A and B are shown apart, each in its own frame.
Chain A
Amino acid sequence: MYTWEITASFEGGLLEGTSRLILRSQSDTPLLPSIGIDCEFQLLRFLKSKKFKVPKPIYMDRSGLLTGNPAFMMQKTIGSSKFIGTDSKLNILDRKQLTRDIGHQLGKLHKLKIPSNQLRLFKKAREQSVIDRLYTQLDLLPYSLPVIEWALRWLEKNRPVKRSQSLCHGDFRNGNLLIHRKRLTGIIDWEFAHIGNPLEDIGWFCARCWRFGNDMEEAGGIGHLSDFMESYETLNPRKVNWVELPYWNIVATVKWALIAHRQGLRDSWNSTRKLELALTGFKGVQLEHEILKLIKNHERVKI
């Protein structure tokens, strides 16, 4: 997906005047697990109607008139997705409140009953388990990665008992959370939403690779896991088995490793972006190192 911030002037109608909007467009080559731009638009409309902290979708352009590809416009939500975990202005109470805000929103999402007409949006994603999706990603790479192959085998052999499924965001990490004045104002980028194990979202949010060095704050590098869990459980008592969280941290690290390897192969017309992608490719080996460590620790606990 491509995203632009635009300032638009309207004459008449509901949006009369000047508005700051976000234009989000399908790319020429959408990523495999993406639900697509039209589904994302419909999902945002549904979530907004349920009072979630998501941007308000405004207009869907299926014809490709605006960008050459299907695209939609939404209102700009105030806030920044810049990582604030290491911000010294954030005191203990701020961290606690913010972590609780995040836990509450995710708990609310995982509790949501999805009407059957919305469920069809996720048909494709429901047919594959997360491990199968990761195997598909691995097989798309032009080279073999024995550590990832081994990790996926291990994940398969240690797969937890299947539990109730929820609507998952699919990319729930600090980079997709908008924060303003130390409070959560929005959750963005819903293109990987799917029906799955709620711990998949929590494992992704809490994985060490997304804490950017602020490792003591297990909840996304922002706050304590206990605050996150407490807030999450207020809406969802006994929804998830927290003992399985380390397993889902491993799933998350394998997923990010595969993305990093893929990013390293991508090209861009923008030279700085091209350099950024090439540097990300080198994160792959760091994540492989982390995977080996995490599985080793998991095995040690089992003994």
Chain B
Amino acid sequence: MKDADKMTKLLEAAKIVLEEDIIPSLPSRKRLSALLVEEALSIALNTTYQLVRQEENETVKNNKVLSNQIRSGVYDTSLDGEITKILSRDVSERLEASTPDFKMHQKFSQYLTN
């Protein structure tokens, strides 16, 4: 899975909001459902911790090599050639994993300004 480190941070942040902001203010009849969601997030988090460790050994290394090649001019003769296919494939996979809706509608949303 690509972007596992970002996914981990997102799940951690969502879990904190759930635990600190949402669960304490819920009526007791809703609390059980929220605790189950919290448990589900914990399981998902444990999986992403494993993925981060794997990713460190693969994607990070590959991205570094490719970036160095681009900066040193290896692809300068055809910047719009084969390299774009490699990059598009990678972006497409990451979008599919994180925000597949964007791939379909391609509309930017707003939730952060600063």
Q: With a CB–CB cut-off of 8 A, which chain B residues contact A83?
A: 110
Q: With a CB–CB cut-off of 8 A, which chain B residues contact A189?
A: 114
Q: With a CB–CB cut-off of 8 A, which chain A residues contact B64?
A: 144
Main SS of the interface on chain B?
helix
Q: With a CB–CB cut-off of 8 A, which chain B residues contact A215?
A: 107
A296 CB to closest chain B CB, in angstroms? 7
B96 CB to closest chain A CB, in angstroms? 10
A212-B109, A282-B6 known; A144-B63 Cβ under 8 A: yes
B40 CB to closest chain A CB, in angstroms? 16
Tell whether A272 is near chain B: CB-to-CB under 8 Å: yes
Please tell me which stretch of A13-21, A63-71, A149-157, A239-247 contacts chain B, meaning at least 4 of its Cβ atoms lie within 8 angstroms of it.
A149-157
B70 and A146 form a contact (CB under 8 A) = yes
Interface residues of A in 38-76 (CB under 8 A from B): none
Tell whether A137 is near chain B: CB-to-CB under 8 Å: no
Chain A 244-281, CB-CB to B under 8 Å as 1, else 0, gives 00000000000000000001110000011011111111
A143-B60, A278-B9 known; A157-B83 Cβ under 8 A: no
A153 and B79 form a contact (CB under 8 A) = yes
Tell whether B14 is near chain A: CB-to-CB under 8 Å: yes
B63 CB to closest chain A CB, in angstroms? 4
Q: Considering only CB atoms and an 8 Å cut-off, how many residues of chain A contact the other chain?
A: 46
Interface residues of B in 89-107 (CB under 8 A from A): 90-92, 94-95, 98-99, 102-103, 106-107
B37 CB to closest chain A CB, in angstroms? 14
Task: Name the contact of A276 in the complex, choosing from B79, B94, B109, B111 (C-beta under 8 A).
Answer: B111
Tell whether B84 is near chain A: CB-to-CB under 8 Å: yes
CA distance A80 to B103 in the complex (A): 31
B76 and A157 form a contact (CB under 8 A) = yes
Tell whether B32 is near chain A: CB-to-CB under 8 Å: no
CA distance A175 to B112 in the complex (A): 9
| Top 10 closest pairs, chain A to chain B, by CB | A175-B113, A144-B67, A213-B107, A275-B13, A278-B10, A278-B13, A144-B63, A149-B67, A146-B66, A274-B13
Interface residues, chain A, with chain B CB atoms under 8 Å away: 81, 83, 143-147, 149-150, 153-154, 157, 175, 189, 208-213, 215, 263-265, 271-272, 274-286, 288-290, 292, 295-296, 299
16 contacts between A and B (CB under 8 A): A146-B67, A146-B70, A149-B71, A150-B75, A150-B87, A212-B107, A275-B10, A275-B16, A279-B13, A282-B10, A285-B3, A285-B94, A285-B95, A286-B95, A286-B99, A289-B103
